Chain A
Amino acid sequence: MALDSKIPDGPIADKWTKYKFGLKLVNPSNKRKYDIIVVGTGLAGAAAAASLAELGYNVKAFTYHDSPRRAHSIAAQGGINAAKNYQNDGDSVYRLFYDTVKGGDYRAREANVHRLAEVSVNIIDQCVAQGVPFAREYGGLLSNRSFGGTQVSRTFYARGQTGQQLLLGAYSAMSRQVAAGKVKLYTRTEMLDLVVEDGKARGIVTRNLITGKIESHSGHAVLLCTGGYGNVFYLSTNAMACNVTAAWRAHKKGAYFANPCFTQIHPTCIPVSGEYQSKLTLMSESLRNDGRIWVPLKAGDSRPPADIPEDERDYFLERKYPSFGNLVPRDVASRNAKYVCDEGRGVGSSKLAVYMDFADAIKRDSQKTIEARYGNLFEMYEKITGEDPYTSPMRIYPAVHYTMGGLWVDYNLMTTVKGLYALGEANFSDHGANRLGASALMQGLADGYFVIPYTLGDYLATIGHQDKISPEHAAFKESEAIVTERINKLLSINGKFTVDEIHRKLGLVIWDYCGMSRSAEGLTKAKKMVQELKHQFWTDVKVVGTNEELNITLEKALRVADFIELGELMIDDALNRNESCGGHFREESEVDGEAKRDDENYSYVAAWEYTGENQPESLHKEQLTFEYAKPSQRSYK
């Protein structure tokens, strides 16, 4: 199937306006005849469910959490970008668009990004109207900060809990629709399959996580708002339950998976302390404004930091990138931390960490000032590590944080399966090969509040309300049977490895070979290792208990099975993309240790099509054109 991105013609600033006018509308009195299935109730899902219900559609919203308020959007700290230009510092929709395309290292779709920048301003209005308590100035107007190295202050924030406040806003809007009877909420219910019939998405098959009951839900369209797949690495800043299953099941039913190798590694996380580690905690990027990053000059120097004199320290970011210093982009900072640790100069007991030192900032600005700026972060660090960052430097290390890749979608956010949409982190569209800080919240909400309500109507009006099948249809029964069989298979293996053991091994393979730095040799080796893990999983995993109960091991096993397959595809994608761009660094494509992008050969979206069990996936390319933001090589020297 050829990929049709459906990007509208015309000047970039008019595309979305013109396109919206061209979209078909569903008659207001007919909207109640359509059932929309929304999977996932984070920013994108809750926003979509609320907005569609407000329009009059019947929405069924699914979450595996006990409440929609637990979605991992809640953990976003920094803020949300919007081209409001409230600060009069030269920001504009065009500048936000331009920065995002450039920040994405020219691997995002211009039209989508421009639309994102356009609707960013509406998001702030909407959230404020919902009662989101953004930070304000004494005069009562909204406050902004500069974030992630941008030249303008366009980030709106609610202390270090912006994601929480935005999610609770979307959750409240959805709750209102639940009360109105327009959204039916299914909690502790996990999607395990997508049902496709006659080339269209018809519904989903779910498992009730309390009773184990397998159920079918049919609708006119299915929206996957299921977040990213960072947990393929086992250790990441994602929540424990974040998984790829919904997207991966859809992929196996015909939705192409785009750019799976584009993963973002965040440079400032609290390092791993031991084998038992279950997840990693992010320390806000803003710390790099005042923290100086260093390691000992000599390898194997295990003196405490205070005993290492100034001339035996290597402030490696300041040394290599004199003009940006500690504020180089996330991928550059992460990679360099890895290099110094690979050289044996890492610190702490694991030797997989670098120092982030606030001593100079405290000397310069006083401890009080630093406390006012980062008090809560310092406290969090102390809580977790038991060390006081005011007196000894923090230890940090990169960790997987966000996945730019995801289901391929067109301008309507529709995947290659008709009637199946992907919103938020679950799709691939707006961040290219690297996401800028404070853009994830913006994209999730843009898709949910301001894009899908328009584009979905066009599809629904086209198919008509009668084009729906009952959950009793053979297609659903077949899916239910497959899901049940899969569960029974897992329960019957009774091998010797726990699910977590295999997941941990998978994570290590992906981290080592498809993490911050990738090579053809390593990737080829990793592919084999993942295949072996897959074999080990399906022959020797241990899942206890039954399906008909709350079974945490079974839940995990179903997710890890999909992570293993995704891992292999990530490796394929990374192997295929023999260039370095954004979060994807290929050792074969570099100049002086810096990433070298290859626009001539790789200026495309790699969309992978599932072709069958244990068959190589087939690659489809969507060529990217840059009419407005002309590609240039990034340099931070």
Chain B
Amino acid sequence: MSWLSKTLSSTIGRKLIMAVTGLFLVSFLFVHLIGNVALFYDDGGASFNKYSHFMSTAGIIRVFELLLVAGFLAHIWTSIQLTRLNNAARPEGYAYQLKPSKEVSWFSRNMGLSGSIVLIFLVTHLQNFYYRYHYEEIPYVIYAPAQLYPQAKNAPKEVVTSVDSLAGHTVLHVTQKQAETIAPQLNTEALKDMQQLVHEVFTKEWWFSILYVVAMFLLGFHLNHGFQSAFRTLGLAHKKYTPFLTNLGGLISILVPAGFASMPIYFLIKAFM
């Protein structure tokens, strides 16, 4: 084995993989969250759909996407290996269960559990949004100039499914097929209506919204321990800045999941109010 594979297959080496991929995934969460804030713009989904379009087509993003997949896989795969190793380290358990001291948080001891639930969420999340966006038929939308509105409104249902006027746009809701005809005529691009997809998932598949919120709750605990733990694993602990990192981790673990969780809640409230 080379020194590198030896290093990375040691217990600390594996923890380093967890730490580095973990922090990388945290950075992804930030980017993802900031982009998704566009969901809240009341512009008929113009910003969000343009953002989604960019994210799914730009070359550099594809590269990052691959990195992200690798990061997730490494994080998950290593955690499985570590769990097995850790279980093997105590073949015979305590007859009377360990009662950890109050200083030890329940979640720090159950990262595998919170991680697994987040993983289940992640799979459904990918199915709901990523897979459908890329591989299923979903509505398209065309943002046309405002003056087109009267004309568009009168267009037959075969041509345009429905039309809105919003924030200076004429919004044409179309199917993929319709889009192929109309977009070139209008000399514009049809976008997949991600905003609509999100809306439908969150409001019609409401059970998914609940899973979303629960998963975000657990993600918060996962981050709360994971963030500062990653720095410790990387050897960065000092009485001067460890409290800051711990607090920062605490803040992130509240803000990021809260930000995400606000989305289904926002859509649900909007739908039922």
Give yes or no for direct A-B contact (beta carbon below 8 Å): no
Which residues of B are at the interface with A, using a C-beta cutoff of 8 A?
none
Which residues of A are at the interface with B, using a C-beta cutoff of 8 A?
none
